[in-house]
Amino acid sequence: MSFPSGRLRGGRFEPRVEARRRAGIRFMWLCRFAVAFGVASLLVLLVSILTVGIPALSPDFLANDPSRFPERAGIRSAILSSAGMLALVAAMSFPLGVGAALYLEEYAPRNRLTRLLQTNIANLAGVPSIVYGLLGLAVLVRFLALERSLLTGAATLSLLVLPLVIIAAREAIRAVPGSLRAAAYALGATRWQAIRHHVLPAAMPRILSGTILSLSRAGGETAPLLVIGAFTFTAFDPVSATDPFTALPVQIFNWTTEPQGEFRALAAGAIVVLLGALLLMNAAAVLIRNRYER
């Protein structure tokens, strides 16, 4: 039954192989249950949203502005507002985030201050979004006396996702092999030349996919926008960054608070659109990463 042993003899063992094997199988089933639970709740959510939401979808629903009459209400202004806001968020958070990440990874000395900065950025990524909303309200709207505009909303969301962009960009930059930097430096490249020609291009796919994921997080945020004063009812297209604004999730929130049941269906329809958009963004992020990584 037992295999012959080597030089050491006489020790007492109780291998209980069968019991150990069963314990392993029990644990595997526990893990399977955990996965099934997550997938099942997601499925229930999706099915319930889709069954109510899909009938609400129509060309008119996308093309019309919100209205007091459910049959005429649409999400045109919300979509345009969200799209414009995300474009602004990208324009603000991408250069700031990548710049900060480059500083931390390529320039900053390895000392206590740098470590403190890094820890703080990681913590900022975990701050509840409503806190960023309050910050936006206090600093941008009250102190800087900016209007409650698309720009204010975008700036607030940029603050919110900046830590995420920095963390994603730092990881992307750190994944660039040191041999590539060494090759550039050994030819007489300055730090900036090595970064511009080799480090950044090599890190870019991951930086982009991280930024897109951060943007999709921003696209789904509601609370901070409500706090700084998003309009829950805008029947016009945003044409400039200083226009009053709404956003798709804000519109959804608004409709779910309406007493009439028809608006719930509209909310479900808007949720389907929002989910679809976020799913597309995440797919794009994965695609970029897979396409350019060797």
Partner 1 sequence: MPSDAVLETIGLGVRYGETRVIEDISLRIPERRVVAFIGPSGCGKSTLLRCFNRLNDLVPEARLTGQVLFRGRDLYGPAVDPADVRRSIGMVFQRPNPFPKSIFENIAFGLRINGFKDDIRDRVEVSLRAASLWDEVSHRLDADALGLSNGQQQRLCIARALAVEPEVLLMDEPASALDPIATGRIEDLIGSLRGDYTIVIVTNNMRQAARISDDTAFLYMGELVEYKETQRLFTNPEDRRTEDYITGRMG
Select the residue interacting with partner 1 from 5, 41, 58, 190 (CB under 8 A).
190
Select the residue interacting with partner 1 from 182, 280, 283, 287 (CB under 8 A).
182
Alpha carbon 236 to its chain centroid, in Å, reads 28
Task: State the DSSP H helix or E strand holding residue 204, giving kind and residue range, or none if neither.
Answer: helix 200-219
Q: From CA 268, how far away is CA 278, in angstroms rounded?
A: 15
Which one-letter amino acid corresponds to residue 194? A
Q: From CA 136, how far away is CA 130, in angstroms rounded?
A: 10
Three-class SS string for 140-193? HHHHCCCCCEHHHHHHHHHHHHHHHHHHHHHHHHHCCCHHHHHHHHHCCCCHHH
Selected range binding partner 1 among 93-101, 146-154, 155-163, 194-202, rule: CB under 8 A: 194-202
Nearer to partner 1, 48 or 190 (CB): 190
CB-based contact 204:293 (threshold 8 Å): no
Nearer to partner 1, 103 or 185 (CB): 185
Nearer to partner 1, 195 or 241 (CB): 195
Q: How far is the CB of 89 from partner 1 (least distance, A)?
A: 31
Q: Is 2 in the site for partner 1 (CB under 8 A)?
A: no
Q: Is 215 in the site for partner 1 (CB under 8 A)?
A: no
Nearer to partner 1, 145 or 187 (CB): 187
Select the residue interacting with partner 1 from 6, 10, 24, 109 (CB under 8 A).
109
Residue ranges in contact with partner 1 by CB under 8 A: 109-110, 177-190, 193, 197-198, 202, 294
